[in-house]
């Protein structure tokens, strides 16, 4: 049945979101014949979701509170455009019961559950009580009304340490602490209450047994308004960083069929208990170590229900062959679920990787800038079957600091997990990105980690494998040679085309082959590599990189700590602004390069054969790249807000002492003392907005004449 003739006819849908999810909803809505209306903030006036929708309406300034979170503006946009329905995507207003009520009042169909179902899951303690009565297994714990200290301590003792204190009203990991022993209990309780009061204006706590090695396994459920409910199998999202999912897969590896059914049925019961309609996800902790046994013997425990479409829904689409946005639209139009449980089949294995504009080697600092290239150049058969790139951006787009830094999701499907992993590795390598730092290299390390390949999963996977995943960067001689070529190209192009040889900085020497010395370092300051580049005599001294790059052959001598480790013959040809064709000892490779200013020099960021490498070029021609011995400036690592000053002006501190906390895109970044020294003054106050590079404080190094205690 067409949506236009359904019980609640749908002809036009407004998507109250941005980025990849807005683009993804537009795709299905258009296929089903709906008119699509995007909304945007000033920062997104030219964003991809605006370009792709049939129509778009401005909401307001960049700040989410004045645009994507402004309920009245979104409702007004829907009314103005003649939309019948609003799809909220995920995040923003998707789980806001007040927004659902506003849609109802305005006569707009909210594509999601009723306000009452969102409210029922909004409070953790109340939700647990409802789930217990529906027979859904809970983590052993306490979620009662009484909240006096002595009683809570007694309950924690009964559960057995370690326990997890959680704010009843909590979310986003706030007001949540692990307590290892009774001795720590009171301090942790006080801390959690404080955080919860500040964040949610509520200090009720619940206590749970803390599982030390759990897996995060969630079940996709769907209900219609006729009382039907099904589950579309599960996803394992154990690979998380600070409770943020990084990799998701379906089905959950090694999950016995009987347990799959048991979890699926428990999830449908959970949804039906609260009168759920639409797409929802019931999140469980699966006790991988099975250290906690529950009376009914289930190794899985209800954690929470997300009353919306999830970021990771595509892995479920790939293994079920269903379009979940189509299901959402049909259910919203008052139609029955397209399939019954017995008609749903699980095929193969799917994995999703979230591609973020951030720098994993720099504490996941969000990155901004213009995307010079962004494409997945694969055969189209791959792109439509086994590999999918759900993206909110295209080459030429600018990544701003205003919203979540997720750029896209890469989703692959294979006949089995091994094949899916191989597809993922291939697709990650093929991604053609430049201009903005991404977590691609980190994702590559994750999907090729032996324990991930062996599916040895738990929510502390990244923490446990920290040393492998954040391996100290280590350049190969080929990496160093490539960086040298990029630096030489840069010098050649940056040189004014003058006939005066004394003004040249590209190594020109009278009556002799050109010769250059370049110095590189790892991004963490370790290693010092030198490259001596000599132009091969066969080319004649008059020719060079500048005039005819295609012709020049250079001999590179790579030295590490003074030892020559390689001699290479290289040729380099510039193909376009950021692309070079490089021939290293006869092996031709295309590489993308860019230069970013960094504190100690220029960072040369290279991508060759899908592998990104980074080196710092210590430029002899730039005084600001020489180390500062006595004074250091501490500058904002990104645009954001100062949330805390951690020391007093004038205070002496040791190297590594946290000094300032800056928040951007919901993430906090702490700046620490670069050396022993003193904070002279702060140039900012708590609450100040700062731009990347703004000086936050004046810092003086202790210097050589300050003697420590002996």
Residues found near ligand ADP in the complex (CB under 6 A) = 139, 164, 166, 170-173, 176, 208-211, 214, 216, 243, 285, 303-304, 459
CB of 299 to ligand ADP, least distance (A): 13
CA distance 518 to 625: 13
C-alpha distances out from residue 401 to 22, 362, 517, 665, 696, Å:
19, 17, 38, 7, 19
Nearer to ligand ADP, 252 or 679 (CB): 252
- Least Å distance, CB 88 to ligand ADP, is 19
Query: Which of 156, 285 has the CB closer to ligand ADP?
Result: 285
Min dist. Cβ of residue 630 to ligand ADP (A): 45
Cβ nearer to ligand ADP, comparing 163 with 351: 163
Phi, psi (5° rounding) for residue 70?
-85, 100
* CA dist., res. 233 & res. 321, Å (int): 12
**Which is it for strands 515-521 and 365-366: parallel, antiparallel or unpaired?**
unpaired
Beta bridge partners, 283, equal 218, 304
Q: Which is nearer to ligand ADP, 91 or 214 (CB)?
A: 214
Closest among 111, 391, 321 to 224, alpha carbons compared: 111
Q: Of 18, 24, 308, 441, which one is the catalytic site residue?
A: 308
Could you tell me the CA-to-CA distances from 689 to 386, 436, 638, 662 in Å, in that order? 44, 23, 11, 9
Cβ of residue 239: shortest distance to ligand ADP, in angstroms?
A: 11
Q: For the range 653-658, what are the long-range contacts, defined as Cβ-Cβ under 8 Å and sequence gap of 24 or more?
A: 653/677, 653/678, 653/679
Joined tokens for residue 612: 């990104």
Strand partners, 14: 37, 86
Using the minimum distance from each CB to ligand ADP, give the nearer residue, 208 or 249: 208
Using the minimum distance from each CB to ligand ADP, give the nearer residue, 22 or 267: 267
Q: How far is the CB of 402 from ligand ADP (least distance, A)?
A: 23
- Using the minimum distance from each CB to ligand ADP, give the nearer residue, 309 or 412: 309
330/223 Cα distance (integer angstroms): 11
Whichever of 207 and 408 has its CB closer to ligand ADP, that residue is: 207
User: How far, CA to CA in Å, does 381 sit from each of 202, 320, 378, 466?
Assistant: 53, 19, 8, 36
Q: For residue 590, count CB atoms less than 10 angstroms from its CB and return exposed for 0-12, middle for 13-18, buried for 19 or more.
A: middle
Contact criterion met (CB below 8 Å) for 536 and 555: yes
Query: 171 or 610: whose CB is closer to ligand ADP?
Result: 171
Give the nearest distance from C-beta 460 to ligand ADP in angstroms: 8
Q: What is the CA radius of gyration of the chain?
A: 28
Shortest distance (Å) from residue 245 CB to ligand ADP: 8
Say how far apart CA 71 and CA 390 lie, in whole Å: 27
Which C-beta is closer to ligand ADP: that of 220 or that of 444? 220
Residue 551 CB coordination number (10 Å): 13
Alpha-carbon distance of 284 to 294, in angstroms, equals 14
Residues 6+ positions from 229 with CB-CB distance below 8 Å: 221, 222, 223, 268, 271, 272, 276, 337
Q: Nearest approach, Cβ of 181 to ligand ADP (angstroms)?
A: 16
Query: Residue 189 in contact with residue 232, Cβ under 8 Å?
Result: no
Tell me the closest approach of the beta carbon of residue 237 to ligand ADP, in angstroms. Answer: 8
Identify whether 153 is a catalytic site residue: no
User: How far apart (Å, rounded) are the C-alpha atoms in residues 114 and 95?
Assistant: 10
Kindly tell me which of 209 and 402 has the beta carbon lying closer to ligand ADP.
Answer: 209
Pairwise CA distance, residues 304 & 283, whole Å: 5
Helix (H) or strand (E) holding 105: helix 97-106
Classify each residue of 267-283 as buried b or exposed e, where b means 16 or more C-beta atoms within 10 Å of its C-beta. Answer: bbbbbebbebbbbbbbb
Question: Taking the complex as a whole, how short is the minimal distance between the CB of residue 166 and ligand ADP, in angstroms?
Answer: 6
Distance of closest approach, residue 383 Cβ to ligand ADP, in angstroms: 32
432-434 and 695-701: which strand pairing? unpaired
Distance (Å, whole) CA 233 – CA 221: 8
The crossing angle, in degrees rounded to 10, of helices 257-273 and 124-133 is 110
Catalytic residue list: 308
């Amino acid at each position: 049945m067409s949506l236009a003739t359904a019980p609640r006819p749908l002809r036009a849908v407004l998507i109250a979101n941005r980025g990849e999810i807005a683009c993804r909803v537009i795709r299905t809505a258009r296929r089903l014949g709906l008119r699509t209306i995007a909304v945007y903030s000033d920062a997104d006036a030219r964003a991809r979701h605006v370009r792709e929708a049939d129509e778009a309406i401005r909401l307001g300034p960049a700040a989410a509170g004045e645009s994507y979170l402004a309920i009245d503006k979104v409702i007004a946009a829907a009314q103005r455009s003649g939309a019948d329905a609003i799809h909220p995507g995920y995040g923003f207003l998707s789980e806001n019961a007040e927004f659902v009520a506003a849609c109802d009042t305005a006569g707009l169909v909210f594509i999601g559950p009723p306000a009452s179902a969102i409210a029922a899951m909004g409070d953790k303690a109340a939700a647990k009580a409802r789930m217990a009565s529906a027979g859904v297994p809970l983590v052993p714990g306490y979620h009662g009304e009484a909240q006096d200290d002595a009683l809570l301590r007694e309950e924690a003792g009964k559960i057995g340490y370690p326990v997890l204190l959680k704010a009843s009203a909590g979310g986003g990991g706030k007001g949540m602490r692990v307590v290892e022993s009774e001795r720590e209990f009171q301090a942790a309780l006080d801390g959690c209450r404080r955080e919860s009061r500040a964040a949610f204006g509520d200090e009720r706590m619940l206590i749970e047994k803390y599982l030390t090695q759990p897996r995060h396994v969630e079940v996709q459920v769907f209900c219609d308004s006729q009382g039907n409910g099904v589950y579309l199998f599960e996803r394992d999202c154990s690979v998380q960083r600070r409770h943020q999912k990084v990799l998701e897969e379906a089905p959950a590896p090694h999950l016995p069929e009987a347990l799959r059914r048991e979890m699926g049925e428990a999830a449908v019961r959970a949804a039906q208990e609260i009168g759920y309609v639409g797409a929802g996800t019931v999140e469980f902790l699966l006790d991988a170590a099975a250290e906690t046994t529950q009376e009914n013997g289930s190794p899985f425990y209800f954690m929470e229900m997300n009353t919306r479409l999830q970021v990771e829904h595509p892995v479920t689409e790939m293994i079920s062959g269903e379009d979940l946005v189509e299901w959402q639209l049909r259910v919203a139009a008052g139609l029955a679920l397209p399939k019954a449980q017995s008609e749903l089949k699980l095929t193969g294995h799917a994995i999703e990787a979230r591609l973020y504009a951030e720098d994993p080697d720099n504490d996941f600092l969000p990155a901004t800038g213009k995307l010079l290239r962004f494409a997945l150049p694969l055969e189209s058969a791959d792109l439509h079957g086994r590999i999918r790139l759900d993206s909110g951006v295209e080459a030429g787009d600018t990544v701003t600091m205003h919203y979540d830094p997720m750029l896209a999701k890469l989703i692959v499907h294979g006949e089995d997990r091994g094949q899916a992993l191989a597809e993922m590795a291939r697709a990650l390598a093929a991604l053609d990105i430049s201009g903005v730092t991404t977590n691609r290299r980190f994702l590559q390390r994750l999907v090729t980690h032996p324990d991930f390949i062996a599916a040895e999963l738990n929510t502390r996977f990244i923490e446990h494998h920290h040393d492998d995943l954040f391996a100290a960067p280590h350049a190969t001689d080929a990496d160093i040679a490539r960086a040298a070529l990029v630096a030489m190209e840069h010098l050649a192009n940056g040189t004014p085309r003058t006939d005066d040889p004394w003004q040249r900085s590209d190594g020109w020497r009278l009556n002799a082959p050109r010769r250059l010395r370049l110095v590189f370092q790892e991004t963490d300051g370790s290693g010092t590599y030198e490259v001596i580049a000599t132009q091969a005599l066969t080319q004649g001294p008059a020719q060079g990189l500048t005039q005819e790059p295609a012709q020049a052959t250079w001999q590179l001598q790579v030295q590490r700590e003074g030892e020559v480790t390689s001699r290479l013959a290289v040729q380099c040809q510039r193909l376009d602004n950021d692309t070079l064709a490089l021939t290293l000892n006869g092996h031709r490779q295309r590489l993308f390069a860019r230069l970013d200013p960094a504190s100690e020099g220029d960072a040369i960021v290279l991508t060759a054969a899908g592998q990104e490498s980074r080196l710092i070029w210590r430029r002899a021609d730039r005084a600001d790249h020489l180390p500062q011995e006595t004074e250091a400036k501490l500058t904002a690592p990104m645009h954001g807000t100062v949330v805390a000053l951690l020391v007093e002006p004038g205070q002496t501190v040791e190297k590594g002492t946290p000094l300032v906390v800056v928040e951007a895109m919901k993430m906090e970044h702490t700046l620490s003392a670069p050396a022993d020294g003193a904070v002279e003054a702060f140039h900012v106050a708590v609450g100040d907005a700062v731009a990347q590079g703004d000086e936050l404080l004046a810092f003086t190094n202790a210097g050589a004449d300050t003697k420590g205690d002996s």
